[in-house]
């Protein structure tokens, strides 16, 4: 009996060690960030001190109060770090400051207000910890100008691995909410984004964008915005998007991509499942630049090479889609110019859309405006049950241009070739 007791105790210890939570060590140090309590006093220096002192093996705690963030933050190089956000980080509306000080992201000449990153970072917002970008000031100031130079993203996760960001709320982001670059094996779970403009457009307010990143998971997201719900850009591979709700924006975006002349880029091995779209333009759409370079990024470019392939989008629910559920446009070009919509050298292939139900305002289930140089190949659409919101009739049109190898559907007409980066004319 004594031997059996010893063996049972040993077995219990081994099982405990096999669970990841059992391997998490207590932080070596806890840094609680003080808040000055006044918008005229910048809390950024206190935040940066906490990350300096506790960013390696420690824990940074934001209390349930408001922190005024009046200057840029670079908190990269973290390791085995916990971040506990129970209050609100509120960014200032000093637009001239941000335009002259925002930090480079490393892609498309984009910039950011906060770049954060490291190994084994756990950032917990508990469902109410908030990052408020005071975006209404930006929406009013920049108007309809796309990718306004130096307009900052709310947060950039860079050079990050084996990490998790969860329970965070992003309100009124200045531009893109979350850009993820040069990162891998990282989960973004239970994230809420609301970047809506009171009385106008909130252009360029993507919920999240992946760039040069792999093995990224988006789970339990809710996004209400005026642009891409989530966008996958250059060299985004092995991406999972699941159990999400998207309102009003453009839907899931693959791209834009093919912006850099003669540069080979890919988007590969993507799965999106159990997604609900409420009033979005599309469920899923693809956008590549044309085959000719016109001007330079972020608002110019073209002539890029590469492919997007091996993608599955399934178990989708739609309410009042504003356009085709599935769209391809290979027509993105420099703002204000008309490009050749059939010249892109970037190919789309091996795409599967399975099981979509709900309502739409468009007769078109699909609008595929593909390149004549590199036609779209091997596209599958099955189990479609979309009805017009106006009268309940079936949406049954599939418009195609330069599509080779359809499965589960037949093209019913020619696509309208126009200069829209979101498909159609």
Q: Tell me the catalytic residues.
A: 227
Pairing of strands 364-369, 397-401: parallel
The three-state secondary structure class of 150 is coil
H helix count then E strand count, the chain: 4, 28
Neighbours of 289 (CB within 10 A): 31
Tokens of 361: 């305002």
For 217-240, give one letter per residue: b (16+ CB within 10 A) or e. bbbebbbbbbbbbbbbbbbbbbbe
277, two tokens: 């779209």
Question: The tokens 């997007």 sit on which residue?
Answer: 308
N residues, the chain: 425
Write the burial class of residue 396 (CB in 10 Å: 0-12 exposed, 13-18 middle, 19+ buried): middle
Distance between CA atoms of 111 and 104, rounded to whole angstroms?
4
Place of tokens 């209390």: 63
Q: Give the residue from 332, 330, 319, 398 showing the smallest Cα distance to 365.
A: 398
């Amino acid at each position: 009996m004594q031997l059996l007791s010893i063996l049972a105790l040993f077995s219990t210890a081994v099982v405990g060690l096999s669970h990841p939570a059992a391997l998490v060590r207590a932080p070596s140090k806890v840094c609680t960030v003080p808040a000055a309590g006044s918008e005229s006093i910048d809390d950024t220096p206190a935040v940066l001190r906490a990350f300096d002192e506790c960013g390696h093996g420690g824990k940074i705690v934001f209390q349930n109060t408001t922190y005024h963030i009046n200057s840029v933050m670079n908190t990269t190089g973290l390791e085995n770090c916990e971040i506990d956000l129970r209050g609100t980080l509120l960014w200032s509306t000093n637009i001239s400051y941000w335009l002259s000080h925002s930090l480079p992201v490393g892609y498309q000449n984009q910039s950011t207000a906060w770049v954060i990153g490291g190994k084994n970072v756990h950032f917990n917002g508990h469902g109410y910890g908030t990052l408020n970008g005071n975006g209404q000031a930006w929406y009013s100031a920049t108007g309809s100008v796309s990718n306004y130079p130096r307009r900052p993203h709310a947060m950039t996760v860079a050079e990050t691995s084996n990490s998790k960001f969860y329970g965070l709320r992003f309100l009124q982001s200045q531009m893109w909410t979350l850009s993820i670059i040069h990162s891998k094996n990282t989960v973004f779970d239970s994230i809420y984004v609301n970047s809506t403009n009171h009385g106008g457009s909130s252009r360029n307010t993507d919920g999240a964008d992946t760039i040069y990143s792999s093995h990224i998971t988006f789970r339990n997201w809710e996004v209400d915005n005026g642009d891409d719900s989530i966008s996958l850009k250059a060299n985004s591979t092995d991406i999972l998007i699941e159990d999400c709700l998207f309102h009003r924006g453009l839907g899931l975006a693959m791209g834009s991509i093919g912006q850099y002349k003669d540069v080979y880029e890919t988007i590969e091995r993507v799965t999106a499942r159990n997604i609900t779209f409420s009033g979005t333009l599309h469920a899923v759409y693809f956008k590549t630049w044309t085959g000719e370079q016109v001007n330079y990024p972020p608002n110019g470019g073209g002539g890029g090479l590469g492919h997007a392939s091996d993608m599955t989008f399934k178990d989708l629910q739609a309410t009042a889609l504003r356009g085709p559920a599935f769209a391809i446009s290979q027509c993105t070009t420099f703002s204000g110019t008309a490009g050749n919509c059939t010249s892109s050298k970037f190919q789309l292939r091996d795409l599967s859309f399975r099981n979509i139900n709900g309502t739409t305002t468009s007769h078109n289930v699909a609008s595929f405006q593909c390149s004549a140089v590199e036609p779209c190949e091997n596209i599958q659409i099955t189990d479609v049950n979309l009805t017009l919101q106006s009268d309940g009739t079936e949406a049954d049109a599939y418009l195609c241009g330069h599509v080779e190898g359809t499965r589960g559907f037949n093209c019913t007409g020619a696509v309208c070739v126009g200069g829209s980066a979101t498909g159609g004319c």
